[in-house]
Every structure is written in structure tokens, then in C-alpha cells.
Amino acid sequence: MQQKPASVFNIAVIVAALGYFVDIYDLLLFGIIRVPSLKSLGLNDAQIATDGLFIINVQMLGLLFGGIFWGILGDKKGRLKVLYASIILYSLGNIANGFVQNVNQYATIRFITGFGLAGELGAGITLVAELLPKEKRGIGTSLVAGIGLTGAVVAFFFKEMFDWRTCYFIGGGLGFALLLLRVGVLESGMFKSIQESNVAKGDIRILFNNGKRLRKYLCSILIGLPTWYVIGILVTFSKEFGEKMNLQGKVDPGKAIMFAYAAISLGDIAVGFISQWFKSRKKALYLFYTLTAFGIAWYFTLEGKSTASLYAACALLGFGTGFWAIFVTMAAEQFGTNIRATVATTVPNVVRGALTLVSLLFVSMQSSLGYVTSGLVTGIVVMVIAITAAILSEETFHKDLDYVEK
């Protein structure tokens, strides 16, 4: 077993953080340039809203299927191999996005890009969690997420400086540059120790053939639902919510995403230290759930207010959903080395993919409740599910990760 590095500022953490930076830049880029890119393809405002939601849902399905594929591969072949292969795929996908001419092409390429992006976070978090000592892995994974999430802020500023097609080309270039930085990063010692053994690795059936493991896996997914409700519904479609709530001024959804992700980045860094202070993942999670709930309540009381108020609400929502780092870390900590990459990669991507179901709930109620009330009711349902799942989840703060599932 290789000796674990003492500092959270080691090459594995730094490169994982930069990898997640590129991942988030690429993942959120469509939400940021949705309006100008679809407008340039000849769509009107109504089509930008409906076709925009369609493209986001297709992208999220790509993340869902990619999460399963890359997670299994990460446990069978190693964490680093997944990182290399996924980077190549999503970088090529982003370059291809710069050439799309219609909605169907756009959606198809976003599916492929989403499939590639699915491998980055889970493999990176798994690698960092296994390389760092247990008393520092929460801070390490928080730094990965906190630094990485600033990719959305950079994407916004690039949108202000460049044409939307150029923004996609830049994303592809950043991905290929990241490949060079991966050189020198070591594979996980825990994975190496079981690599040549007969232990079943990456066998997803392990998660379903035991009732306790299945419950842990489902709870690991459900505790993350509020993140993509906030980003995928409230923040991405802040322009439409602003119009329905008669806000003073026109909302720029790209700016809303920028404010939200700047705050998420701070929240993700803070949650690691708060978890360390509490010596508990769950207590930190409950605190951030509370902030998210206040943010949702504030968002839906903005009738007739200024766009600045909405951006401020998006920032609070972003900070509240900064529990993303702890959520993914908890998922990785709950399972053995032979299935850990599968869990850590599938869980966040199933949550992203679940945006499709959340948006279906949101849309299905609009004819009877209206656009704004449907958004609020969807948020209440999502928060209740997440809090219930968190209560049923185990505390993993002091857990030793050097074991396998049988």
C-alpha cells in the first residue's frame, strides 16, 4: 500500500480540481449560452424555453448513461484510465458543439458530451478520497469541488467576451490541455491492492443483491436532488421565472448561473471545513439544506422585485447547494473499494439525470398551478425527499475506506 500524502495540496487534489473546473465549464456552458445560441439558430422565445429544456434533459440523460459506464470501468480498469478516456470524449464533443446547425444536432452532441463529462467527477473524487488520509479527505474533496465549480464563472465571462461557438471550442481546448496535466498523477493504492485479485470489481449487481446496500445507494442519490432542482430549474430558467414574477428588468440566465456557481464554489469549500468542525458529514448537510430551503422560499417571494434581488437569491441558493462536495464524498465513503468508483460516478450523474424527472413534475403541474407555483411545489417535494434520505443515511466521517464489498 502506498503511503498517503499528508497535505491536501498534493498533485492528485490539484489536478482533480482543475479537471472538475473543465468539467463544470463544459457542463454549464449550454445553460449560460442557451439564449444566444438558440436565438442564432432561428428560434423564438417560446422555442428557446421548450427546446432549451429538451436539450438540457438530453444532456442529463447522457450524464446518466455515462455515469454507469465510466463508474463500472473505473472499478474494473482503474480511476486514471476513466479520467483519460472521458476527457478525450467530452473535449471532442465540445468542439463538435461549435459546429451545430439545428436543435436535433445540438441535442445529439450534448448527449455525447454529457456521456463524456460523466466520468470526471466520480473518478476524481474516488481517487482523492482513497489517496488522502481519512481525517483530511473531506477537506480535499471540498477543495476539488470548490475550485472546480468556478468553471461556471469563467464560462460566463467567456460568454461575454466571445461568440457562443468559440466558447465551445475553448472548452474542447481546455480538456485536451488537461490531459497533459494528468501525467504524474498516481493510481489509487487501494485499487492497486485489489487489481489482480479475484474480488468482483465494478459489478453493479453488488448494489442490488443486498437490501442494506441498495438502501444506502438509493439514499446516496436522493440526498443530492436539491442541487439540480436549483440549478436546472430555478437558475437556468431564471429568465422565464423573472418574467412570470414581473421582475423589474430583464434577467440574464447566464449571469444567474454565474452568481449561483460563484456561491456554490464558496459553499463547497466551506462545507468541508464545517464538516471537519462538526466531525460529521450529516450535520454539515443539514445546515446546508436549511440554507437551501431559505433560498427557495426567498426566490418565490420576489414578485415585482428587481433583477438584483433574483441574482442575490440565486447566490444564496448556490451557497446552500454547496453541499455537493459532501454529498459525493458521502457516496464514496459508504461503499468498498471494489465498487466505490461505480458508486461515486453513478450517484452524481443519476442526480443530474434525475433533472429529467424533476422537470417532468414541474411541467406536469403548470396547466393547473401555473409556472411559478409549479416551481415552488416541485421544490418542496424535492426537499422533503432529500431530507428523508439524509436521515436514513449513515454517518461516514471517521470511516476507514480500505475494504471491499462481498
- Residue-wise pLDDT tens digits, 186-240: 555 565 666 666 677 777 888 888 888 999 999 999 999 999 899 989 998 899 9
Domain 11-183+203-392 -> CATH class: mainly alpha
Write phi, then psi, for 248 (nearest 5 degrees): -80, 105
How far is 96 from 267, CA to CA, in rounded Å?
Answer: 33
Confidence check: pLDDT of 3 > 60: no
**What's at 20, amino acid-wise?**
Y
Angle (deg, nearest 10), helices 79-97 and 45-77: 160
Q: What is the DSSP string of 189-255?
A: HHHHHHHTSSS--S-GGGGTSSHHHHHHHHHHHHTTHHHHHIIIIIITTHHHHHHHTT-BS---HHH
pLDDT classification of 1: cutoffs 50, 70, 90 = very low
pLDDT classification of 24: cutoffs 50, 70, 90 = confident
**What's at 133, amino acid-wise?**
P
Top mean pLDDT of 24-38, 81-95, 274-288 is at 274-288
How far is 235 from 242, CA to CA, in rounded Å?
Answer: 10
Top mean pLDDT of 10-14, 15-19, 84-88 is at 84-88
C-alpha cell at 218: 438509493
How far is 131 from 7, CA to CA, in rounded Å?
Answer: 11
- Contact partners, residue 391, CB within 8 Å, separation at least 6: none
Q: What Cα–Cα distance (Å) separates residue 382 from each residue in 11, 42, 283, 387, 388?
A: 37, 35, 19, 9, 10
Q: What Cα–Cα distance (Å) separates residue 379 from each residue in 109, 166, 230?
A: 30, 35, 8
What residue segments make up the domains of the chain, in order of their start?
11-183+203-392
Confidence check: pLDDT of 183 > 50: yes
Q: pLDDT tens for residues 302-337?
A: 999 999 999 999 999 999 999 987 888 898 888 888
The residue with cell 485489489 is 194
Mean pLDDT computed over every residue of the chain: 87
Q: Are 206 and 405 in contact (CB under 8 A)?
A: yes
| Total-model pTM | 0.80
